[in-house]
Amino acid sequence: MSLIFQGLSFRYGRGTPVFSDFSLNLESLSTVLLGPNGAGKSTLMALAASHLRPSAGRVAWRNVEASHRRERARYRQAVAWIPQQITPVPGLTVREQIAYAGWLKGLSRSEAWEASGQAVARVGLRELASRKSHEVSGGQLRRMGIAGALTHRSEVILMDEPTAGLDPTQRGMFRDLVAELSRSVHVIVSTHQTEDLADLYQEVVVLDRGAVCFQGSTGDFHALAGPAPSLRERAEAAYTRLVTREA
């Protein structure tokens, strides 16, 4: 199963194209999308989430196309997007907001409520289920967003810069959650940070100026760096080499 981007073209208004005839297949259960600011990562994630529509080309999962009006609801049930900023819904508790996410994707109220209980437990928010959603921390909001995606049994979860602004403890909890999720769900994370690649991701894609300059296993990515004292330093060196080469 692949998340397919085929022949994509996209620009904002009359600006310079972000993508021109862009193609990429993502098959691994856990993929990290790296790239500097302005590389097109967030735009690609928004296209994958069907939040944006390409001017040409297609985005598809299991042959269900994001841009087809009749297929869009099915696509969005399967492919969930967790943006960098999760907005609490005024008046709703954590569990209610998680259930609401399932209801928005087509579940009945009872189905969404039952699924929300399982999702709350899976992301470690059971003790906060009755707290108002606007009273939780940034890291807890991110986990709440993931739980919302789990209510409607998403097969792909897209996360855009999910660790931005989190403290070390929150980042650790996020790493544990991604490791658990990627056993059964396709997880695609967009970031410019190279920490923990070897522990979390099977595949690395490096994007720069709207083009893929590397796609391969985490091991192949680290090998680009040559000898280095630690995996983290290898990842930083490999990333710098690729982006500098493309500059």
The CATH number of whichever domain residue 24 belongs to comes to 3.40.50.300
β-strands 203-208, 56-61 pairing? unpaired
pLDDT digits (tens, 9 = 90+) for 140-191: 888 898 899 888 888 999 998 887 777 788 778 888 888 888 888 999 999 8
Residues 6+ apart with CB under 8 A from 57: 5, 6, 7, 8, 9, 21, 22, 23
Q: How far apart, in whole angstroms, are the C-alpha atoms of residue 225 and residue 93?
A: 47
Domain count within the chain: 1
Identify the bridge partners of residue 9 per DSSP, sorted by sequence position: 56
The answer to whether the beta carbons of residues 178 and 59 sit under 8 Å apart is no
pLDDT digits (tens, 9 = 90+) for 191-208: 877 877 877 899 999 999
DSSP code for 51: S
Q: What is the pLDDT of residue 207?
A: 94
The residue written with tokens 């009006």 in the block is: 69
Q: How far apart, in whole angstroms, are the C-alpha atoms of residue 10 and residue 241?
A: 27
Q: How far apart, in whole angstroms, are the C-alpha atoms of residue 234 and residue 223?
A: 8
How far, rounded to the nearest angstrom, does the alpha carbon of residue 95 sit from its chain's CA centroid?
A: 22
Domain that holds residue 231: 3-246
The H or E element that residue 240 is part of is helix 231-246
Q: How far apart, in whole angstroms, are the C-alpha atoms of residue 222 and residue 205?
A: 12
Nearest to 17 by CA among 51, 48, 57: 57
DSSP code for 154: -
β-strands 19-26, 64-65 pairing? unpaired
CB atoms within 10 A of CB 160: 22
The whole model's pTM is what?
Answer: 0.88
Q: What's the token pair of residue 143?
A: 């986990």
pLDDT digits (tens, 9 = 90+) for 155-169: 999 998 887 777 788
How far, rounded to the nearest angstrom, does the alpha carbon of residue 129 sit from its chain's CA centroid?
A: 24
Determine the 3-state secondary structure of 55 from DSSP.
coil
pLDDT digits (tens, 9 = 90+) for 60-93: 999 899 988 889 889 998 999 988 788 899 899 9
The residue written with tokens 């789990």 in the block is: 150
DSSP code for 126: G
Residue 247, pLDDT > 60, answer: no
Backbone phi, psi, residue 149, to 5°: -65, -35
Q: What is the pLDDT of residue 245?
A: 54
